[in-house]
Structure 1
Amino acid sequence: MDTIEDLPALLDLVASHTGPVGRYTPAPSGNMSDALLLVESEAGRFFVKGMRNSPGGRLDSLDRELTVNSHLDGIAPRLVATLRDATWAVGVFDYIDGAPADLKTPDGARCLARLIDRVSDLRLPVELDWPETRWDRFCETPELLRGRTICHGDPHGNNVIIERASGRAYLVDWAWPTLAAGFIDAALLANQLICAEHSPQEAEAIVSDIRGWRNADPKAVDAFLVANVRMMEERYARTEAPWIKAVLDGWREWLGYRMP
């Protein structure tokens, strides 16, 4: 946290909404933002996500997250303020005192599946045209991945917070929401479940309660698996990061189960 330049300016901007910040600590996870803080102030405790206020991908990501929040019907923590000055663009969210979901357990896995199923009921206004294109160059039939279902794009255990007091679950880190076929988030969750030591058969059984999965064209699912294997093979060839290899192995295992 000491390495963040202009941190005093960020805290002053947050204080313009919350009142003086008494304490702040780095958020326990996340590395795609310029600043992630848990702050305590006169108005209470808040989660703060900040990006440098300069054009580009990181700022675009925050802008999408701030825009989509009001359409998520409480599935994500409430956005309480959007703040901006010459240096920082900031989202201030309700702080949720909780813990992530453990996808190795049936309860944790089904908790995330229920959240994704709830997302499938939501719709964005037509003016928010965010087609999903991340897999297009790895897929011969990208039209099979198109749709109007809101796609979180990164459903895993650390992106779920289960509130300690109420047991209510929230899906967090909406860093790049898109519109896609209804099965995409379900398939991404299934891969996470395989990486968490569920079998492909068990993973498919868990996501079978998600409407987008039940209504999916099997050919579209298979095309998506092939695209993910290709994408992760390319990424692993560049970096050889262990986590990328684990995700790649999950896609390969699942593809081998579906297309032996």
Structure 2
Amino acid sequence: MATTRIGLDRLPPAARAAIEEHTGPLLTVEETTEGFNSEIAVRVTSTTGTWHIKGLRTDHPRAWTQRREAAVAPFLTSLAPTLDWHVETAGWDLLGFEALNGHHADYTPGSPDLPEVAALLRRLGETPCPGIEMREAEQRLERYAAHPDDLHFFAGPHLLHTDLNNANALVDVHAAQGDRARLVDWAWATRGAAWLDAGYWVIWLIASGHTPTSAEEWAAEIPAWHTAAAEGIIAFAAANAHLWAEISTADPGPWTLRLATASEAWHAHRTIG
């Protein structure tokens, strides 16, 4: 379920002051509409720079996601915006990220952003998984697997993002070649099998208009995809079809229904086609 968004002006004065200790007096504050997990999501400028700020109340049920992002951020060189500061005060947990330029990736067939996202996922596959507290892929999918024996396919030692929503992939066409895309929102950073992020991307590609075959052709651009057993891909497709069916039933909005349809189409492709 989406979290209710509020403006920066509704923060307690002490929390606003803590932000300005890092930024200096703010000149502009631009609310951002993307994302579902933050109560505060703004782009701010001052005389010293520009930041993207995201925040949750410290008593929010998902406050742990702020701490997860802060913990993983130092390990994401070339993959994500730099975390410049993290403050927890006056009942709020606030993260100040380097503000990225660029646009949300276009996942539709033929998009010039697709090779950039594939290059990004290849870089992610080469990034060591930090030894920090992190959720395990097999635990996250345990409730949704068709068979308990399927869970071993998802286990592994690799760093995963797991939320390949196109709004979480930013592409800057003016950046250096091969380094143009970044992933934001690492709240669901996970440890697991190296090929899983390519699998998560498949679902979003199908939801963006690709056939399952076309989506898997893009997944095949990620070396880790070729390490997956065919039975493991079927198990992963089944688990995600169950997951998105549950989400779309509880929250039947256009995007959840689109993901449920896409994940079921992929599962059918893998089991019937």
Superposed displacement of residue 36, structure 1:
0.7
TM-score for the superposition, normalised by structure 1:
0.92
Report how far residue 129 of structure 1 moved.
4.5
In the other structure, the counterpart of 1:111 is 116
Question: Equivalent of 1:151, from 149, 160, 183?
Answer: 160
Call closer, same or farther: CA 1:79–1:228 in 2, change over 3 Å.
Answer: same
In structure 2, the residue matched to 1:209 is: 221
Alignment RMSD, CA only?
1.9
Aligned to 1:136: 142
2:74 counterpart of 1:70: yes
Cα 1:126–1:95, aligned 2, differ >3 Å: closer, same or farther? Answer: closer
Which amino acid in the other structure matches residue 154 of structure 1? D
| Cα distance in 1, alignment partners of residues 34 and 181 from structure 2 | 17
C-alpha change, 1:145 and 1:224, in structure 2 (3 Å) is same
| Cα deviation, residue 159, structure 1 | 0.8
Is the CA contact (8 Å cut-off) linking 1:24 and 1:39 kept in structure 2? Answer: yes
Distance in 2 separating the partners of 1:17 and 1:240: 40
Match of 1:177 in 2: 189
How far apart, CA to CA, are the structure 2 residues paired with 1:30 and 1:234? 20
What is the deviation of 1:4?
Answer: 6.5
Q: Which runs of 4+ in 1 moved over 6 A?
A: none
Native 8 Å contact 2:42 2:54 kept in 1: yes
Given that 1:183 and 1:221 are in contact with CA atoms closer than 8 Å, whether structure 2 keeps it comes out as no
Stretches of structure 1 lacking an aligned partner (at least 5 in a row): none
Residue 246 of structure 1 pairs with residue 261 of structure 2: no
Q: How many Å separate the matches in 2 of 1:253 and 1:31?
A: 25
SS in 1 for 2:63: helix
3-state SS of paired residue (1:83): strand
CA separation in 2, counterparts of 1:165 and 1:115? Answer: 15
- How much identity, in percent, do the aligned residues show? 26
CA distance in 1, matches of 2:166, 2:134: 28
Output the CA distance in 1 between the equivalents of 2:91 and 2:255: 33
Equivalent position amino acid for 2:187 in 1:
A
Q: Structure 2: 5+ residue runs without aligned partners?
A: 1-5
Q: Secondary structure at the match of 1:24?
A: strand
Separation in 2 of the partners of 1:146 and 1:4? 43
| Distance in 1 between residues matched to 2:91 and 2:131, nearest whole Å | 31
Q: For residues 4 and 175 of structure 1, do their structure 2 counterparts lie closer, same or farther at Cα, with a shift above 3 Å needed?
A: farther
Task: Measure the CA separation in 2 of the matches of 1:130 and 1:88.
Answer: 23
Question: Residue in 2 aligned with 1:27?
Answer: 32
SS in 2 for 1:93: strand
